[in-house]
Structure 1
Amino acid sequence: MLDLLAVGGLVLLRDSVEWEGRSLLKALIKKSALCGEQVHILSCEVSEEEFREGFDSDVNNRLVYYDLFRDPLNWSKTGEAFPGGPLGALRAICKRTDSGPVTIALDSLSWLLLHLPCTMLCQTLHALSRQDVCPGDSSPVRQVRVLGLLHEELHGPGPMAALSSLAQTEVTLSCTMGQASAHIHCQRPRQRPTHQTQLFSILPDFSLDLQEGPPPESQPHLDPHTPPTAGSTAPWARSDYQSHLL
């Protein structure tokens, strides 16, 4: 699982009302930071204090944090907001990456998708995750991985298909017999798509504990475009959560 998620490009972490994905996002961020990578966080849904909670100082000191939670649209006019709003923040991340492996975490991609035109967001994600040089910048980036947390019930088939076409890896989170499971779909250029199902748990310090599961040949194939909650009863309504993001 970790090998599949370590490859550069756009990685979609598709969570749902059945299983939240921020804990896995933080676990992957911790691993990247401890490996010495640059780690940039664009946070839209929770405060910086809440997001950093659970990380030790070694991890927190390596995070470059971009806070869109307090005043994402610069309503307070304090001068602390990013010029150009959310897109300006994404472009600032692109310009600040130096040579070497980089992880960019978007918490969440859903928030950005609800506040930005889909086409414009996809173009920016392409520039972040697939280009060796950012537009207007001469500094090459050896490998960039973009982790996008996506609350899939909030979006229609059009935006989901557009994001999937950009992604090298999609991770759909669900629950299997009370255990968190990640259904991983990898699409690499000139390679056959691969599928893997991995049971896991997140420890209190956001370490990732991988569990033994069924052999790959016995694992059911899950279409990443099919919500894992199809046919189940959600504990809270989509509209309630969407109003929270807005």
Structure 2
Amino acid sequence: MLQLLASRGDLVLLRDSVEWEGRSLLKALIREIALKGEQVHVLGCEVSEEAFREGFDSDTNRRLVYHDVFRDPQGCAGIGGPLGALRACLRGADAGPCTLAVDSLSWLLLRAPCSALCQALRALGRGQLRVLGLLHEDVHGPGPVGALGSLAQVQVTVGGSAGGAVARVLRPKPRHRPTEQTHWFSVLPDFSLRFHKEPSLEAPLQHAPPAATADALAGLTFNIHLSEKEKEARDTLALPFHFSSEKQQSLLRPAPASSASQIFYEPDAEDYLDQEDPDDDLDV
């Protein structure tokens, strides 16, 4: 991937999100650049210097010049605010090839106007300088992300799937269609990059041995099967909702007057009879 970032004077935009962080890829690129003998300046805004240097070997750490804004963010006011800290990173830098890593552009973008940040990044562009800027794209709206994207010469979007992490590298070309490449990668504990082949879209079918069917009747405290005698008794049983011809005739035959039923109600001493609401169902 470093060959794609080899152009001098480029702004390389590393776009990550809350699902896939891009700081590990930023540190992996810094390691590769440092191992080629270049000096790397880091504007650290979101993590401490100790946390950022953790995992690097001694050769990489020796070539890192760390500008710590994380410990004293208010100290930027004395050097022209956050954008002043961005410009001050390169004071006293070597005249040869140099890389400026900004961790992150989102921190600057939340404290400075997008137009001012774009102007500051454009002013940093010179023949021997490369700028790596980490941008948390889900923190900002489409306007700032699009503005920084149009300013960048290379955009690397970090994502992934079940197959692993993916870096989509987009390089716009004037008067030509932009080129896009996809790299499957992993970052090792020493921040070296390992690239992988694209995983197959169709995973091979794995024929698992059939699982033993559990006995659903085991452990029941009752029997769900009937014996022959129980079946005969069930068949001779008259169901309550089944109206036989005898039951129908008895219901249709008028009852004698002597057997007519009556309901007698004797109120208790505590009962209160309301003539307008005799069944006491009104609640006004």
**Alpha-carbon offset, residue 47 of structure 1:** 0.5
Please give the per-residue CA displacement for 1:148-176, whole angstroms capped at 9, x wherever unaligned.
11110000111111101110011111112
Please give the per-residue CA displacement for 1:149-205, whole angstroms capped at 9, x wherever unaligned.
111000011111110111001111111224000011101445531000000000000
The answer as to whether partners of 2:34 and 2:40 remain within 8 angstroms in 1 is yes
**Corresponding residue for residue 125 of structure 1:** 121
Q: Which stretches of structure 1, 4 residues or more, deviate above 4 A after TM superposition?
A: none
Is 1:42 matched up with 2:43?
A: yes
Counterparts of 1:180 and 1:211, CA distance in 2? 10
**Alpha-carbon offset, residue 44 of structure 1:** 0.3
**Corresponding residue for residue 95 of structure 1:** 91
Q: Mind listing any 5+ residue stretches in structure 1 that lack a counterpart? A: 75-79, 133-141, 219-246
Counterparts of 1:73 and 1:168, CA distance in 2? 32
Letter in 1 for 2:69: L
Q: Mind listing any 5+ residue stretches in structure 2 that lack a counterpart? A: 202-284
Secondary structure of the residue aligned to 2:59 is: helix
Counterparts of 1:47 and 1:189, CA distance in 2? 39
The answer as to whether partners of 2:2 and 2:32 remain within 8 angstroms in 1 is no
Higher relative contact order (CA 8 A, sep 6+): 1
**Corresponding residue for residue 147 of structure 2:** 162
TM-score w.r.t. the length of structure 1 is 0.76
Moved more, 166-175 or 5-14: 5-14
Is 1:174 matched up with 2:175?
A: no
Matches within 5 A, 1:102-113: 102-113=98-109
The answer as to whether partners of 2:13 and 2:156 remain within 8 angstroms in 1 is yes
For the aligned residues, what is the CA RMSD? 2.0
Secondary structure of the residue aligned to 2:110 is: helix
Is 1:14 matched up with 2:26?
A: no
Counterparts of 2:78 and 2:15, CA distance in 1? 27
- Indicate the structure (1 or 2) with the bigger Cα radius of gyration: 2
Counterparts of 1:87 and 1:43, CA distance in 2? 13
Counterparts of 2:115 and 2:77, CA distance in 1? 23
TM-score w.r.t. the length of structure 2 is 0.66
**Corresponding residue for residue 2 of structure 2:** 2
Counterparts of 1:203 and 1:87, CA distance in 2? 33
Counterparts of 1:60 and 1:163, CA distance in 2? 29
**Corresponding residue for residue 281 of structure 2:** none
Is 1:204 matched up with 2:215?
A: no
**Alpha-carbon offset, residue 94 of structure 1:** 3.4
